[in-house]
Structure 1
Amino acid sequence: MSILQSGTPNYLKIINKRKVLQEIIDGAELYSRASLAKKLKLSKPTISALVDELVEEGWVTEKESKEAAKKGGRKPVHLLFDKEYKYTIGIDIGGTTTEIAIMDLDGAFILHRKIDTQAGLKKDFILLLVNEINAMLEAKKINQEKVLGLAIGAPGITDSDQGIVIEAPSLGWLHYPLKNEIAEHFPFPIYIENDVNMAVLGECWKGAAKAKSHVVLITIGTGVGCGIVINGELFRGGQYAAGEIGYMITNKDQASQGFESMFKGYGFLENLVGGPSIVKQYQRGSDKEDYSAEKIFEKAMEGEALANSIINEALDHLAVSLINVAALLNPECIVLGGGISKSGYWFLPKLQEKLELYLPEQSRTEIMLTKLPQASLLGATVLCMKKHALLPS
């Protein structure tokens, strides 16, 4: 759909056309032309003309209902969004693994692949991504003209307007022009976003935070990431660095004494609750050097003293950060993702208890676990659809 400026002759028509398509895409109910006109308070001739255009363009199909109308007569003809009229491509660049997916406009995976990030960075990473995308499109016989857009999530502070990854320690990128590097290879639009920002869009669309307007997603893996949605829109901050809670101070005494940084550029909180930190602390008190953070969580759940002490200390720091986030932003929910979420059923009640102890009733919020293993990839579809006015902004 073309985007026109206000004041142009067709502006009102474009606005109404967007409303019609967004209502059909929402899918809360099946509409006929008549029921859609009633819902949007537009005349039947106006709705009919707009639907005709959407059908002709390919966005909408019409299908006769199997059931007759309640008052008898002809069966109603329902308006259906063609979710395969266009496709989106999502890339989630992680420090270890990069995931690529071709999706339809309902977020269903058409094809999903993974590549080794660090191995790719030692070669021509951009060319590797380009070749992989082209191979995936060819495998599914999808022409590039059918691609609505490509959205890439990067693990670091990202200027989403310019498409520049300002800083991504795990990739060794500083002021990296990712959009320009990718855009020269494809005719369709390219969007660059912080990976956790993309993930929180996915959570709000089809995940634990579905239909909520004020959401915070915190992912804990190697480091700590945070995506914030306020009034249904991403909050990026003045310098695109909103949500960098890995730098949050959760114990002033420990911070004043200095702390050992697991990775250059990592902050106080992620050096205490991130997976590598938990592993290193456990190694200091044990001869088991091959334990992963997930295994240490399992040991803590089994009651092992050392693992229990380390995990409870990490959870105390995490609880303080959640209390601060809830007090500052008052979200409807805080969603936890990343590797730590796998053990969430065990420690979630402990965190919830801390919030209820230290926060007034109006500031308390529900802590939830992610339900989406590929939230960032789903968020890529959301981002592309929002940029094309297929979802409300």
Structure 2
Amino acid sequence: MNRSLVLEAIKAAGQISRARVAEQVGLTKPTVSAIVDALLHEGVLRELGPGATAALGGRRPILLEFDSSSEYVVGVGVGVRRTAIVVANGRGVEVARTTFATPRSSPATALAKIASRTAATIAEAGVDADLVVGTGVVVPGLVDADQSTCLLAPNLGWRDVPVRELVSRQLGGQIFVHNTSQAAAVAESVEGAAVGVGDVVLLYASHGVGAGILADRRVFHGFRGLAGEIGHCVVPGASEPCRCGKRGCVETLASGPALARAGARAVEVGLATSIRPGARGKVTSEAVSAAAHAGDLVALQILADAGRVLGIAASWLVNVVNPAAVVVAGGLAEIGPPLLDPLEASLREHVLPQAASGLLVRRSALGQDAAVRGAVLLARQNTESYYRVVFRG
């Protein structure tokens, strides 16, 4: 704990003296000096020489700096359509990236391909694999983070997949696995739309719908780590079958595939709309979004309907959790006002007035990077025994 306190103080400061570190973290100067000496010996820190003259005279302090090239972390954001791999240095700064179509095959084959691409990305970045201290993998489904197993990812067709075991066959080092929505919530809290906010709900709406909940800056996991699966709460009166096995789930009405189905139905019944099937003869959510932004009334109504459902789902979360901020992330958040405005109006209509008072509703600041940045932070925070760990209890 003391080591992580000292290390984070030095990382945050850029350049700092031992005495200043001791003052900031509340440790004795001998304790800080012992930790710093160990970190210097390991090559994690380096001395820069004397700083400015001491305010009261005397010897000038020796400044310390974290060597960001002394370690690296990797984030792997597995999406339903696309997978992103980011290699970052010890400060979390990206040094390399690869994005590709998520392999559509058995989980074992898909993860083997992802692990192979990860190893290749590390090598192409010129990073010594021995300096990679951890890899974070986030997947869009139910995850038992303690076991690093994906219990269910219906939109990938995965069930009871030992993600860490399969990935570690090709990648060394520590591997951590987490849920996409929860990881995105951490990313937005640390470096996105909810910086400085301790109690946050992130509504992740893309191919599926989920939520990440932060309580006092820590992920709320629930009994088995499954908290936040708002996409599989049933909307009264809805009957569309869901890939989870139930009917009428939120994501059957308000997700990428749901928008595509609504657009296809509008075309089939002959409504006056500019929505058109794509190259493969299928209407996509992107086609609905494009038509709405061009002023198509049918497309605008489809997005408004989806936004209202998401707003109701968000109101359930707000009434139960009472966050200070709701962040909307995922592919649907990229649609912007045609969906987000009805969402916020619906949220505020259905939530308790007392819970809505002062509530911030924000669009993701990280966009499509929220999940993979969450994966980078997952690796960083676990491997450092980071004293502000938010992924673990």
TM-score class, shorter: 0.7 to 0.9
Q: Which moved more, 1:285-294 or 1:152-161?
A: 285-294
TM-score by length of 1: 0.86
How far the C-alpha of 1:298 sits from its partner, in A, is: 4.0
Match of 1:281 among 227, 238, 262: 262
Measured in 2, the distance between the counterparts of 1:221 and 1:357 equals 23
Query: CA deviation digits over 1:300-333, x for unaligned, max 9?
Result: 3444332222222212111111111111111121
Instruction: Say whether residues 1:226 and 2:211 are aligned partners.
Output: yes
Call closer, same or farther: CA 1:300–1:65 in 2, change over 3 Å.
farther
Query: CA deviation digits over 1:20-45, x for unaligned, max 9?
Result: 11322344x75311122222333323
Residues 120 and 128 in structure 1, CA contact (< 8 A), matched pair in contact too: no
Aligned pairs for 1:193-212 within 5 A: 193-212=178-197
Residues 262 and 277 in structure 1, CA contact (< 8 A), matched pair in contact too: no
Let me know the Cα RMSD of the aligned residues.
Answer: 2.5
Residues 30 and 79 in structure 1, CA contact (< 8 A), matched pair in contact too: yes
Query: CA deviation digits over 1:198-217, x for unaligned, max 9?
Result: 22221122111123221111
- Matched residue type, 1:81: F
> Could you tell me which residue of structure 1 aligns to residue 240 of structure 2?
260
Residues 108 and 166 in structure 2, CA contact (< 8 A), matched pair in contact too: no
Residues 64 and 75 in structure 1, CA contact (< 8 A), matched pair in contact too: no
Query: CA deviation digits over 1:235-261, x for unaligned, max 9?
Result: 2211322111012234x2x23xxx122
SS in 2 for 1:327: helix
Q: Which moved more, 1:17-26 or 1:275-284?
A: 17-26
Which residues of structure 2 form unaligned runs of 5+? 269-275
How far the C-alpha of 1:74 sits from its partner, in A, is: 5.8
Call closer, same or farther: CA 1:70–1:262 in 2, change over 3 Å.
same
> Could you tell me which residue of structure 2 aligns to residue 114 of structure 1?
99
Aligned pairs for 1:92-107 within 5 A: 92-107=77-92
SS in 1 for 2:336: helix
- Matched residue type, 1:38: E
Match of 1:375 among 370, 373, 376: 370
Residues 228 and 243 in structure 1, CA contact (< 8 A), matched pair in contact too: yes
- Matched residue type, 2:360: E
Instruction: Say whether residues 1:46 and 2:51 are aligned partners.
Output: no
How far the C-alpha of 1:221 sits from its partner, in A, is: 1.4
Measured in 2, the distance between the counterparts of 1:181 and 1:306 equals 45
- Matched residues, number: 373
Measured in 1, the distance between the counterparts of 2:335 and 2:125 equals 37
> Could you tell me which residue of structure 2 aligns to residue 360 of structure 1?
353
Measured in 1, the distance between the counterparts of 2:114 and 2:300 equals 41
Which residues of structure 1 form unaligned runs of 5+? 1-14
- Matched residue type, 2:100: I
Aligned pairs for 1:1-393 within 5 A: 15-27=1-13, 30-64=15-49, 68-70=53-55, 76-119=61-104, 121=106, 124-250=109-235, 252=236, 254-255=237-238, 259-261=239-241, 263=243, 265=245, 268-286=249-267, 288-290=276-278, 291-358=283-350, 359-364=352-357, 365-372=359-366, 373-388=368-383, 389-393=385-389
How far the C-alpha of 1:113 sits from its partner, in A, is: 0.8
Q: Give % identity.
A: 28
